[in-house]
Amino acid sequence: MPQQPDRKKTITFWIVFLVIFGIMNVMIYKRFIQKEVNEVGYNFFMKLIDEKKISEAALSSTQIVFKDKEGNIYKTGLMEDAALYERLYKSGAEFGAEIETPMNPILYYFLTFGIQILLLIILWRFMFKRIAKRSGDDPDMMSFSLGGGRGKGTGRIYVKSKNDVRFKDVAGEEEAKELLSEIVNYLHEPEKYTEIGATLPKGALLVGPPGTGKTMLAKAVAGEAEVPFFSISGSEFVQMFVGMGAAKVRDLFKQAKEKAPCIIFIDEIDAIGKKRDASLTTNDEREQTLNQLLSEMDGFEGNTGVVILAATNRPESLDPALLRPGRFDRRIPVELPDLKGRIDILKVHAKKIRISENVDFDTIAKTASGASGAQLANIVNEAALRAVREGRKVVQQDDMMESVEVVIAGYQKKNKILTNKEKLVVSYHEVGHALVAAMQTQSAPVTKITIIPRTSGALGYTMQVDEDERNLMTKTEILNKVSTLAGGRAAEELIFNEITTGASNDIEQATKLARAMVTRFGMSEEFDMVAMEVVTNQYLGGDTSLACAPETQTKIDRMVVEIVKTQHEKAKEILQQNLQKLHEIAKHLYENETITGEEFMEILNSSENTLLTNPEV
């Protein structure tokens, strides 16, 4: 274990320091105390009594300690003197009490300041370890220095510990684990690959959205490989002083070569690996750092056993020279998990809590469609917290389902009070969504409708969950989705002859879908299969930018408006044809605030006719 020698050195240092400190303290104590209490003869004591210069005197069975009126302290041996007390009394001295001798100044400062400082240091170290564990940092990571002088930075070198992350602890990314396992095998048994002439990949780039487990995979590689693992963030290379970042890169690779075989992990590599262009001068610090990184990756001798792992969620911003074969040989996608992956991730995190045996992970995974690994971990933790709040010792299915809604829509705002009119409007709005979705053949089934406000700002929402995992959407499905989004506003228009601001998010999503049909999916007859829009930052929200002439943009706007308008009219027609059911379901929702998908379908398929009457309608 590389960490043990450092611990021994630290302990030895503190022992030596305390011994030297104690010896010096004793020497200083003797020096100060012995000089302050002066030993004199009994005749000197008698002389001061006669001159009435003694202020205090303390008599014991063997000696007399006395203080003159100037504050000096003396001591002398005790002689047989029957008239001693009378002479002391006549001289005006106080006697019989113990005289306080001055404390050693060094000891005084040590007791008043030193102990407190030591306690603060101990407390700080204890708190640092606690914070490191809570934040996910491994306390079994040692620091290593990169660069010297100004701009000195610190990274971490991973050492084996009891809490190693292994591939079995990372679920939902089987393809990524398979590709990384080959690197681990190469580090364990390089001769199997060199016999056939294969060379070790110099670098692997982990690419994917935030929260998908890129850093966790890198830790798992370290745990499986059991080789030195250097971990550093790309931002730590960026310095104000020109040349410091390049020096850090040189230092990092120098240490890595000395400890080969080993792994270097650079998180958020886009901080130093952005594309070089004309806006960067030759003296730019980031460009110099990138050039040094490219040089070091090229300078590896064959089969040195140094592998670079890097993570980013902005691969399109990286310099092409960094991505070419021979530097980052492999690009490993770490995507959002599919249905099976979500189930596996939920089960991995569920092992850390006490959970009921009847929890259906399949249903939870379907409800949490599109969630990342980090969000799924948060869902499990929120379920455990809810169980504690409810006074239960085991997490149940209801806790898990509610935690999904907490992560998606936020916590319930129990103190948010809606007026009867607002509650009525929201009821019809949400039922409008659900009814339009239910009356279309290629729409996901409704699983829940609620009008309980959430911290995300939603006054209510309608949840739809597909029975199976969907990877493709047809044109009909997208149009049906736009109709469903327009269902809330259509219900308001039909029932209240008025519209509200409650449809703002629906309008935004419907417009986005309609525009994507025209500009990206090639679903318009006029433009056919021509892309009019380019997606940027694919893993960070998918921002888009139009790539067409202004005249074409005008046409696109007209087509988008026409699509949304047509589906809005379709939604109103569906609701008009099922107006009785709209009233029935809205009445039930108004009274109960939340209804399940089964209750919704039961009312929809029933033959009873019940109108929701309210004086404010």
pLDDT at 147: 52
Cis peptide leading into residue 333 (ω within 30°): no
Please choose, from the candidates 560, 451, 576, the residue with its C-alpha nearest in 3D space to the C-alpha of residue 509. Answer: 560
pLDDT at 491: 95
The order of strands in the sheet holding 594-596 is 461-464, 446-450, 594-596
What is the rounded distance in angstroms from the CA atom of residue 480 to the CA atom of residue 469? 18
- Which two tokens mark 415? 């103190």
pLDDT at 299: 63
What is the rounded distance in angstroms from the CA atom of residue 256 to the CA atom of residue 250? 10
Instruction: Give the global pTM.
Output: 0.66
Q: Which residues of the chain have pLDDT under 50?
A: 1-5, 32-35, 112, 131-132, 134-142, 148-152, 161-162, 280-283, 609-617
Greatest alpha-carbon span in the chain? 129
pLDDT at 13: 52
Catalytic site residue from 173, 430, 492, 584: 430
The number of C-alpha atoms within 13 Å of 37 and in the hemisphere containing its C-beta is: 16
**Strand-strand pairing, 446-450 and 461-464:** antiparallel
State the DSSP string of 512-565: HHHHHHHHTS--BTTTBT---EEEE-TTTT-EEEE-S-HHHHHHHHHHHHHHHH
Please choose, from the candidates 339, 345, 363, the residue with its C-alpha nearest in 3D space to the C-alpha of residue 213. Answer: 345
Residues 6 or more apart in contact with residue 396 via CB below 8 angstroms: 356, 358, 359, 387
Task: Name the DSSP class of 414.
Answer: T
pLDDT at 611: 44
- Note if 430 is an active site residue: yes
CB 119 within 8 A of CB 126: no
Task: Name the DSSP class of 276.
Answer: P
Helix (H) or strand (E) holding 240: none
- Specify whether the backbone of 465 is left (phi greater than 0), alpha (psi in -120 to 50) or beta: beta
**Could you tell me where the DSSP H helices lie in 351-419?**
361-367, 373-389, 397-409
The order of strands in the sheet holding 203-207 is 141-146, 153-158, 229-233, 262-267, 306-312, 203-207, 330-333
Helix (H) or strand (E) holding 331: strand 330-333
